[in-house]
Amino acid sequence: MTLAPAQVSQMDSALATADASSQTLAALRQLAPGLMVTRCDAIDMRDETPFRVYEKCSLYLIDGRDHCWKITQDPGCATGVALAPNGGAA
């Protein structure tokens, strides 16, 4: 499964003021069933460019189609997403 433009828009709305809590992750799983959704520490993503930055968290798209995961900017290649809090630990 990859992200459709409508799902990206729904995620934008859901994450506008949300944090990287377990409730937020559950909401994302409902928006995109079958998509891998995880949370990580901001420090773990320090060398990566987020797909979107919101008030309280940043969204990273994960391409897991090959043996190793990599961060992507292309929703059409995203098999998962990672949320990281802005400026702190998850």
pTM for this entry: 0.91
Q: Which of 85, 86, 81, 89 is nearest to 7 (CA)?
A: 81
DSSP state of 42: G
Q: What is the pLDDT of residues 42-64, one digit of tens each?
A: 999 999 999 999 999 999 999 98
3-state helix, strand, coil in the chain (%, to 5): 30, 25, 45
Return the SS3 of 44: helix
How much is the pLDDT for 67?
82
- Segments in the chain below pLDDT 70: 1, 88-90
How much is the pLDDT for 57?
96
Cβ atoms of 86 and 57 within 8 Å: the answer is yes
